[in-house]
Amino acid sequence: MDNRTGSFWRLEHTNRRETVTLVVVFMILFTALGCGLDFMMGNLRLADGQLSGFPILTIVALAIGSIQSIASYYGGASIVLASVHARPLTADSAAHQMVLDVIGEMALAARMPVPRAYIIDDAAPNAFATGRDPAHSVICVTSGLVDEMDREELQGVLGHEMAHIRDYDIRTMMMIAVLVGGVALLADFVYRWAWFGGFGARGGNRDSNNGGGSAGVLIAIAVFVLAALAPIFAQLIAMGVSRQREYLADASSVEFTRNPRALLRALERIAETESPLRKASRGVAHLFIVNPFEGAHHDGEGFFANLLSTHPPLIRRIERLRVLAGEAAPGTPAAPAPGGGAS
C-alpha cells in the first residue's frame, strides 16, 4: 500500500470515527430534550433529592433520534436532494453532456465509482456531493454552474466534490444535515410546549410535583435554555466540521485535475455572483462548495466570523490556490476577487 492509499484509509477511518461521535452527540441532545419534557409533563419528579417516575418522553426522543440516524444513513441523500428540489441530470443538451463527461473523468482520476448526477434549477453557480459512501454517492450542480462554467472550471468544481466523496466527507456531512433538522424540530416542540403549556394554569402543579418551587423553576429554566441552545449547538457542529474539510478538498481537486487554475478560476467566477441560492436551506448550507447564502463580499475573518460560517473565507481559498498556481508568494496578500466583492 503506497503512502497516498494509506492516507485515504486514515481519512476514511477518521471520518467513520467522527460520524459515530456525531451520532452520539446528537443522541445526547435528543435524550436531554426528551428528559426535560418529561420533567415539564410531570412524568419525572424530583422530590427530596429522589428521582421518581417513568421517562416515557425520553424514550420517545431516543427512538426518534435512532430512527433519524438510521434514516439519515440509508436515505439521507434522497432527503437532501428533495429539500433542494434537485432532479436527475440527463444528457438532454450539450452542456449537460459535458457535465456528465467531466463527472466521469473526475471519478476515473479519483479511482472511484461514477456518482449519480443531479441538477438544481437555480441561477446561482454552486454544487455539492452527498451519499453514504462512494458506491452510493451523488453530485448535484446548479443550472447556474452549468451555464457559467467552461469545461476547465467544471473540472475544478467537480474535482472538489469528488474529493469529498473519496474522503468519505459526504457521509458525515449528510448525517449532520438530517440530524441538525431533527434536533431543531424537537427543540422547537419542547420550547413551544414549555412556553404555552408548561407554564399555564398547571404550572404550579408542576412545581409541587417536582418537589418544591425551587427545583421546578430550575428544571424549567434548564429546559428553556436547552431548547434554545440545542439547535444552535447542532448548527455550530455542522459549521465546524464543514470548514475543516474545504481546504483539503480544494487541494485534492488540484490533484485530480493537475491544474490549480481550474478551481481557482471557478471560485473567482463564483465570487462575482451576488445572488444567493434560492432553493437551499440553512440545514444543508454546509454541503455546498461555497456558502449558498453569501458571496465573497460577505466572507469575514476573525474568530466570530469564522465561528458562524459554514465555509472558510472564499478569499482565503482563492489565495491558497493562487499560491499553488504560482501566482502569489506564500504569506502575501491576495488580490481582490474579480468584481471587487471581497474585503
Active site residues: 161
Q: How far is CA 342 from the centre of its chain?
A: 24
**Residues 113-119: contacts with CB within 8 Å, 24+ apart?**
113/137, 115/139, 115/162, 115/165, 116/88, 117/88, 117/89, 117/141, 118/81, 118/86, 118/87, 118/88, 118/89, 119/86, 119/87, 119/88, 119/89, 119/143, 119/146
Spatial distance between the Cα atoms of 97 and 84, rounded to a whole number of angstroms = 22
**Residues 328-336: contacts with CB within 8 Å, 24+ apart?**
none
Spatial distance between the Cα atoms of 133 and 19, rounded to a whole number of angstroms = 12
3 state SS for 116-158? EEEEECCCCCCEEEEECCHHHEEEEEEHHHHHHCCHHHHHHHH
The bridge status of strand 50-53 relative to strand 87-88 is unpaired
Which residues fall within 8 angstroms of residue 18, CB to CB, at 6 or more apart? 172, 241
Number of C-beta neighbours around residue 246 at 10 A:
22
Residue 133 CB-half CA count within 13 A: 6
Query: Residues, the chain, total?
Result: 343
Spatial distance between the Cα atoms of 62 and 32, rounded to a whole number of angstroms = 9
Q: Write down the residue that cell numbers 470548514 correspond to.
A: 243
Spatial distance between the Cα atoms of 53 and 336, rounded to a whole number of angstroms = 62
Look up residue 276 and give its three cell numbers.
444567493
Backbone region of residue 60 per phi and psi (left: phi > 0; alpha: psi in -120 to 50; beta: other values)? alpha
